Structures are given as C-alpha cells and as structure tokens.
C-alpha cells in the first residue's frame, strides 16, 4: 500500500471516528503510521496501523478529565490523549516513543503542536529507555520460548525471566512507596528442584513498609512468570501461523532503536540501514527446517544484549527526562486551550 493509498484510506468511512468522535476531530494534533509500515518492514499482507495524539477539550482540562485514548480495533487505530502520551513518552514506552521518530512523510496529519513534540523529542529521552526497551525485548524472547526451545539451556531461560523481573522492578519507584535500592534482591542460583538446573531467588529486607504496595509488587512478579509459562502454548499457534519470525525481527528492532536513543539521543523508527537484515529475519532466514530459531540468531541476540549492557553504563542520557521542559510544554498546550473562549 502506497502512502497515497494510505492517505486516501484514512479519509474513508472506515476511519470516520477520527472526524466525529467528540474527543478527536478538531483536537487531533498528530496522526501517523504505526507497526510494520512505520518500521519499513511491511509486506503485502501487513495490516495498516494508525497511531496519533489529540489534546483534551477545554472542559475536560478544567474539570480534570482525561479521555486517555480512543481505540478502534477494526481499523487498528489508537489515538492517545495529549496528557497520557506525555506520560508514556517520559516513560520511554517503545510503542509510543516510536511515534515521535517517524519519517516526515509518515505523518499523515500534524499541527504545529504535534511538530513541536516531534522536533523536541529529546526532552523525553532518558536512561528509562534501557528498562522499557529491555522489558519489551525480553517479552519478545519469552514469545520464542515454546516446545521447540526445550533444546535451549533451562538456566539461560531463567536468566531471561530474571531480566524481565528486574526491568519491572525499575519502574516500581513510580508506583509504590519508596524503598532502599537493595530492599529486594533478585538473582539466580542452583536449584533443589528436579525440573530446574537454576532458578530465581529473592532476598527481601523491608521495614515498616506498606503491605498493599508489597503485595502489588509481588503480583507484578507473578504476572511476568505466568506470562512466561503461557508462552509455550501461545507459540504453538505462533509457529503454525508463521509469527515466530516476526517476533524475532521485532526483538532485534527493539535493540536497534534503543541503541539510537542511548548513543545518539535520537528516536529512529524507520530502520532503513538494517532493512535487509530485518526482512531476512522476518522472512525466515534465521529459522531451521523445523521452524525453530537457529543458534546463530541467539548468538546475534547475545551480541546485542552485550552492547546494551555496555551502553547502559556509558550513555550520556540523564536518569530521568527533562521534566522542566516537559512541564512547560504541558502548561503551554493546555493553557492555550483553556484560554480560548
């Protein structure tokens, strides 16, 4: 599908909600491509994903309401509220940060405010990208862990789970009461269970800590482990429908995008330089005759993971986004809306 065809498509009745939904229409500030079309890895069978941002109305701002997002499943479109998008950008959420790094021609509609956000995307970037992108990458790895992965070392798979748990732990400070950085220590060690070579253990030292917050953290840990255990059943279907190669491609793409952020302080969504490699992965070049990832693919992932570990320590990015600039932007945008009669 060409860009001209896409532009014509989003003006059709299928996308009418963009123009008649009370939270969208004149409040839209940015509409762009998402998914494989945005990455440059689309095929003839690829669905069209549309993502965007809309400001809240004057009424909603003044009464403290936020529509958060409008989702149309049939059209595979998600439009985020300005306030929610700002929070997700500050968290370096991979699915949202990519929206500020599209190729110029991949913005199907953009206002001055939307363009300002794109031009000043660096204000949202921080070391949080290490954990957000790392968490998504580990999720892709978990999707590759099915019955075919029984040949892989169990202790290595346990380490992947551990990394997911650590990435989740990094964001706890944003949702739960403060605790010392070493209050919860997660690590792998030799297991006494027959089915494990190694397993994850934890050391906990907490005093006068809210029980509900502790229960929330443990619940998140349990959710990650449960999702990991479900991956095998899901991936039986994924192999059948040829989706494992796509998971493999996205795993590598996430690493590449994270490196751009950590090394150059830029968001690069369209992967022009790595296009051929990513398409080779998507088209099954790294799958063996049994549709299982080849050893060379896991060696590639290990190299990428080592590079991420290096830049985790050597990036010049701050620990957190430049909140003074972010807050000034939010104040300006919402203030201008409220000032309208």
**What integer is the mean pLDDT of 45-54?**
94
Residues 281 and 186 in one domain: yes
CA distance 18 to 31: 10
Show contacts of 200-203: CB within 8 Å, 24+ apart: 200/158, 200/161, 200/162, 200/165
Residues 132 and 120 in one domain: no
Residues 190 and 298 in one domain: yes
The count of domains in the chain is 2
What is the 8-class DSSP label of residue 119? H
Tens-digit pLDDT profile for residues 15-35: 999 989 999 999 999 999 999
Q: What's the pLDDT at 68?
A: 93
Residues 76 and 160 in one domain: no
150 to each of 250, 292, 327, how far by Cα in Å? 22, 11, 49
CA distance 155 to 43: 36
Residues 221 and 283 in one domain: yes
Residues 310 and 325 in one domain: no
Residues 99 and 164 in one domain: no
Residues 290 and 175 in one domain: yes
148 has a pLDDT exceeding 50? no
* Range(s) of the domain holding residue 60: 3-124+321-338
Please choose, from the candidates 118, 63, 57, the residue with its C-alpha nearest in 3D space to the C-alpha of residue 334: 57
- Which residues face 185 on adjacent strands? 203
Kindly report the CATH number assigned to the domain that includes residue 326: 3.30.460
Reported confidence tier of residue 146, pLDDT bands at 50, 70, 90: very low
pTM of the model: 0.77
Per 3-state DSSP, the chain is made up of helix, strand and coil in percentages (nearest 5) of 55, 10, 30
Q: What's the pLDDT at 35?
A: 94
Residues 288 and 144 in one domain: yes
* Residues in contact with 35: Cβ distance below 8 Å, sequence separation at least 6, in sequence order: 42, 46, 47, 48, 49, 76
Residues 72 and 219 in one domain: no
Residues 279 and 162 in one domain: yes
Residues 9 and 142 in one domain: no
Cβ neighbour number for residue 334 with a 10 Å cutoff = 18
Q: How far is CA 189 from the centre of its chain?
A: 30
Q: What's the pLDDT at 38?
A: 97
């Amino acid at each position: 599908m060409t860009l001209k065809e896409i532009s014509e498509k989003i003006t059709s009745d299928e996308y009418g909600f963009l123009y008649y939904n009370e939270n969208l229409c004149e409040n839209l500030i940015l509409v762009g491509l998402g998914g494989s079309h945005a990455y440059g890895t689309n095929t003839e069978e690829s669905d069209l994903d549309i993502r965007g941002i809309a400001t809240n109305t004057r009424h909603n701002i003044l009464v403290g309401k936020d529509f958060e997002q409008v989702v149309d499943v049939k059209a595979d479109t998600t439009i985020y509220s300005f306030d929610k998008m700002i929070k997700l950008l500050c968290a370096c959420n991979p699915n949202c940060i990519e929206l500020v790094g599209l190729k110029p021609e991949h913005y199907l509609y953009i206002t001055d405010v939307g363009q300002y956000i794109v031009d000043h995307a660096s204000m949202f970037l921080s070391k949080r990208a290490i954990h957000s992108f790392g968490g998504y990458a580990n999720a892709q790895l978990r999707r590759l862990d099915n019955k075919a992965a029984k040949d892989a070392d169990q202790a290595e798979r346990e380490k992947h789970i551990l990394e997911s748990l650590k990435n989740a732990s990094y964001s706890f400070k944003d949702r739960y009461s403060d605790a010392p950085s070493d209050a919860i220590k997660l690590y792998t060690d030799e297991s006494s269970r027959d089915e494990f070579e190694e397993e994850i253990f934890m050391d906990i030292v907490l005093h006068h800590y809210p029980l509900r917050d502790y229960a929330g953290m443990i619940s998140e840990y349990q959710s990650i482990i449960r999702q990991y255990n479900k991956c095998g059943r899901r991936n039986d279907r994924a192999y059948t429908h040829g989706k494992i190669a796509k998971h493999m491609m996205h795993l590598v793409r996430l690493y590449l995008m994270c490196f751009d952020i950590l090394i150059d302080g830029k968001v690069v969504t369209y992967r022009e330089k790595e296009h051929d490699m990513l398409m080779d992965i998507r088209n099954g070049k790294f799958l063996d005759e049994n549709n299982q990832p080849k050893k060379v693919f896991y060696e590639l992932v290990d190299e990428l993971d080592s590079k991420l570990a290096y830049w985790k320590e050597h990036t010049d990015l701050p620990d957190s986004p430049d909140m003074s600039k972010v807050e000034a932007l939010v104040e300006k945008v919402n203030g201008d809306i409220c000032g309208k009669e």
